[in-house]
Amino acid sequence: MQKRKLGKSNLEVSALGLGCMGMSFSYGPPKDKREMTSLLRAALERGITFFDTAEVYGPFLNEELVGEALAPFHGQVVIATKFGFDLSPDSDPRGMKGAPGLNSRPGHITEAVEGSLKRLKVETIDLLYQHRVDPDVPIEDVAGAVKELIQQGKVKHFGLSEAGVQTIRRAHTVQPVTALQSEYSLWTRTPEKEVIPTLEELGIGLVPYSPLGKGFLTGKIDENAQFDSSDFRSTLPRFTPEALKANQALIDLLGSMAERKKATPAQIALAWLLAQKPWIVPIPGTTKLDRLDENIGAVSIELTPDDLRDINEAASKITVQGARYPEKLEQMTGR
């Protein structure tokens, strides 16, 4: 497995990470713990060293799963987690339907980190993201709180998720930001306008989540797809039958390039991301070993400048239909 560095931080990780959320949260009921433990260890055996979780996934279940599965391999892995939601008993984060409130007050960050350290069974969190920007807490206070945790040896690197460029700049002046985690793929290209140039300027890595469009870019989902109410996608405007039908043009584009490269649409979608910048590390999630192997295969696919130009020309003629989140969740992004 190739390695990449996240920005100027010298945090070196596998070129592809593993998003662990779906093992415990958002995509139906939590999966079997033993099976998921085997999958996490299989990923490590195949060279994946970068694992992504968060306290809100479950809540707490996913950190516990990742912590137990990877406990024997400390020193060989980089585990990223996130704080920033209010998980007090009266808020209901399960399934994110009601979306819990935000809380990035410095005292809450400290509490969240203590909980994450225990569940992950580590003495130091490798990469700690603010999950969503809290408009009620100045980002300088958030960065300052994380800086203190870094000085105490409880955290190594600071990250932001779905933050806007002004927030990134302000945070970076207080505590250097190692990585930004935001949705980025062929069907969500918003970061290209302002965010990616800013990250390049400041030397910050980009960790695209949902690099396969929550499964859509695999080519396995069409307008007839049925999503259970426990599946987060049942709430997303982009997953209505009309939007899925309209967006099939993207699958056709990936499919034709996949034929050219003797690959799958998912592999082309990931290879395209990897080709954008050397400091981009996508974190596709999966709960299946064959999908894990398929995703890893993307790392060895080389898209030539001609291939990339063909993809961009075709993609520029496609207008993606449907917002990526319901309004309340959309408002939490880009702040």
Active-site residue set: 57
CB 180 within 8 A of CB 160: yes
The C-alpha atoms of residue 230 and residue 177 are separated, in whole angstroms, by 34
Q: Which tokens go with 236?
A: 């997303």
d(CA 28, CA 47): 28
Task: Tell me how far apart the alpha carbons of residues 135 and 57 are, in angstroms, rounded to a whole number.
Answer: 22
Closest CA to 209 of 233, 238, 249, 180: 180
User: One-letter amino acid identity for 54?
Assistant: A
Classify strands 205-209 and 177-183 as parallel, antiparallel or unpaired: parallel
Q: Return the half-sphere exposure (C-beta side, CA atoms, 13 A cut-off) of residue 202.
A: 24
Other beta carbons within 10 angstroms of residue 319's beta carbon come to: 8
20, 65 in Cβ contact below 8 A? yes
- d(CA 282, CA 14) in angstroms, rounded, equals 10
Cβ(142)–Cβ(106) under 8 Å?
Answer: yes
Alpha helices in the chain (DSSP H): 33-45, 61-70, 106-120, 139-151, 165-174, 195-202, 241-246, 248-261, 265-276, 289-297, 305-316, 327-330
Give just the sign of the alpha carbon dihedral 84, 53, 80, 180: negative
